[in-house]
Amino acid sequence: MACDEGAVQADCLMLQGRAHCGHSRFAEMERCARQALDLARTRGDLSDQAAALNNLAMSLAYRGACRPALDALVEALSLHRSIDDEDGRAYTLGNIGFMHNALGDNDAALAHHRRSLALRQRLGEIREQASSLDNIGTALFKLGDPLQALAHYQESLRLRMGIGDRSGQATCLNNIGYLRQLAGDYCGTLDCYRQALRLREATGDRAGHALVLQNIAILNGQLGDYRHALAQSEQALAVRNELDDRSGAAYSHIAVARLLIEQGGDTQQVAAHLDAAAAIAAEIEEPEIGLRIADARTELALARADTGAAGIFCGEARKLAERLRSKQGQARTALLGARIDAALGRVEAAQAGFREAIAVCQELQQAFETAGARLRFAEFQMSRDAEAAREHLDAAAAFFTRIGNRTYLERIERLQSDPRCGRHRGQDAGTSATTTD
């Protein structure tokens, strides 16, 4: 049988592209996808064209070019239909869902993921059904329905357990843990993360293990255990560097920097970690990393009392959040902007920013972030409207008392000792709450 050299070359290019993706080399992934697409078009192979278009779309999306990526996927879907390839249609519909999600159209994302699931169910593909359920869960969460999101994650976990998919189980447990963490259920979160960690260890997935370890570090940071959080983040960073997981390494650099800022650590060390993350972001062109860096640099500038630099970095973060249609980014930049306005004496702008941050965090059901924004607002408002400040202070006190974060509770106790607060020194913060998050 004659060997189709064009087909072999195209397959090699596709494999090379996936390898580049695994190392966050998205420009190289795009180059391989375009070459494979040209070969497939020359040969008239519609199936290979559709596969190359999917790879091209993902390489573009990872670099923030979601509109061109969506166009490529629509073309791929048409090709799959023309050759009656239901498996390819299901895969492409899922990718289209990702693009709509990235573009902020969560309703369209949900619709495409549901169509993908229906095809997977008809084809009897259990593992792929579970992946579709995960994607539907994420879309539902972003549409403000965490309970239905949780139900889909749990159904995915049930399917994965049924087929012994331990790697998939770890992913589900991460998702479930994340929802529980947002809701403030830290015991449930830690249980999920620990199960996921054991599964990653059992499967020898060091990259997945580092991801879970980083999640646990963030959880410990929220609980106020900065020593363990920093050690775990540095451990995750070391593994990611060893594996050449550049995207993961960038996120770990940012996590270490934020923990150091939270502890009032060496600002030069903070800047070094953010510079390392920025170098990676410039190379792999992942805009979400750029957003996180701009956020952290704003925090660092505020810690240095440099409101000019803080304003510049916050402006960069706001533009990236708008570009990515990131609600979480909107909340973070609103809070940072409010802190800058407060430092500059712009009272009305600061008040508006704090209220926006609190509202978006509540909409996203982010318990820790909501409580933190409430505390910042209370600190700002105490000298202006003590009654309104007490309302936010009580809500923050209830949350931080429940999770036992002493760093935040000490800030609350100092504020409660202010005569304008109407509290007596030493009153238990947990009994003063009138509202909860």
pLDDT tens digits along 69-99: 999 999 999 999 999 999 999 999 999 998 8
Task: Count CA atoms closer than 13 A to 135's CA, side-chain side.
Answer: 30
Q: Are 409 and 431 in contact (CB under 8 A)?
A: no
Q: What is the pLDDT of residues 322-380, one digit of tens each?
A: 887 788 899 999 999 999 999 999 999 999 999 999 999 998 889 999 999 999 999 99
Does 269 score more than 90 pLDDT?
A: yes
Give me the pLDDT at residue 324, please. 74
Cα separation, 191 vs 179, in Å, equals 13
Q: What is the length of the chain?
A: 437
Rounded Cα gap, residues 14 and 48, in angstroms: 10
Give the CA distances from residue 29 to residues 25, 52, 377, 418, in Å, rounded to whole numbers and listed in that order: 6, 11, 45, 58
Model pLDDT, residue 220 = 95
Q: Are 174 and 211 in contact (CB under 8 A)?
A: yes
Mean pLDDT (the chain) is 89
Using a pLDDT cut of 70, give the percent of the chain over it.
Answer: 93
C-alpha to C-alpha distance for 49 and 205, rounded to whole angstroms: 32
Q: Where are the strands (E) in 151-234, listed by range?
A: none
User: Which one has a higher pLDDT value, 19 or 264?
Assistant: 264
Residue tagged 């400040």 (tokens): 389
Res. 288 pLDDT band, cuts 50 70 90? confident
Angstrom distance (rounded) from CA 31 to CA 133: 32
> What is the pTM for the complete model shown?
0.81
Cα–Cα distance for residue pair 11/38, rounded to 1 Å: 13
Tell me how far apart the alpha carbons of residues 286 and 62 are, in angstroms, rounded to a whole number: 6
For residues 422-432, give the mean pLDDT. Answer: 41
Residue with tokens 């170098």: 279
Token duo for residue 167: 């790697």
Tell me the C-alpha distance between 227 and 85, whole Å.
Answer: 53
Which residue ranges form the domains of the chain, and what is each CATH number?
1-101 (1.25.40.10), 366-437 (no CATH)
Q: Check residue 235 and give its pLDDT.
A: 97
Mean pLDDT, rounded, for 51-56: 93
Of 8-17, 116-125, 185-194, 335-344, give the lowest mean pLDDT range: 8-17
Between the CA of residue 160 and those of 128, 206, 207, what are the distances in Å? 10, 20, 20
C-alpha triplet 228, 234, 238: angle, nearest 5°:
145
Question: pLDDT tens, 370-390?
Answer: 999 999 999 999 989 988 899
The residue-averaged pLDDT of 288-306 equals 95
Transcribe 79-92 into DSSP letters: HHHHTT-HHHHHHH
Question: Beta-carbon neighbour count of residue 288 at 10 Å?
Answer: 20
Band of pLDDT at residue 223, cut at 50, 70 and 90: very high
Question: Per residue in 388-404, pLDDT tens?
Answer: 899 999 999 999 999 99
Mean pLDDT, range 41-53, rounded to an integer: 93
Whether pLDDT at 64 is above 70: no
Smallest Cα–Cα separation from 361: which of 401, 322, 389, 334?
Answer: 334
354 Cβ contact list (under 8 Å, min separation 6):
334, 335, 338, 373, 376, 377, 380
d(CA 256, CA 265): 11
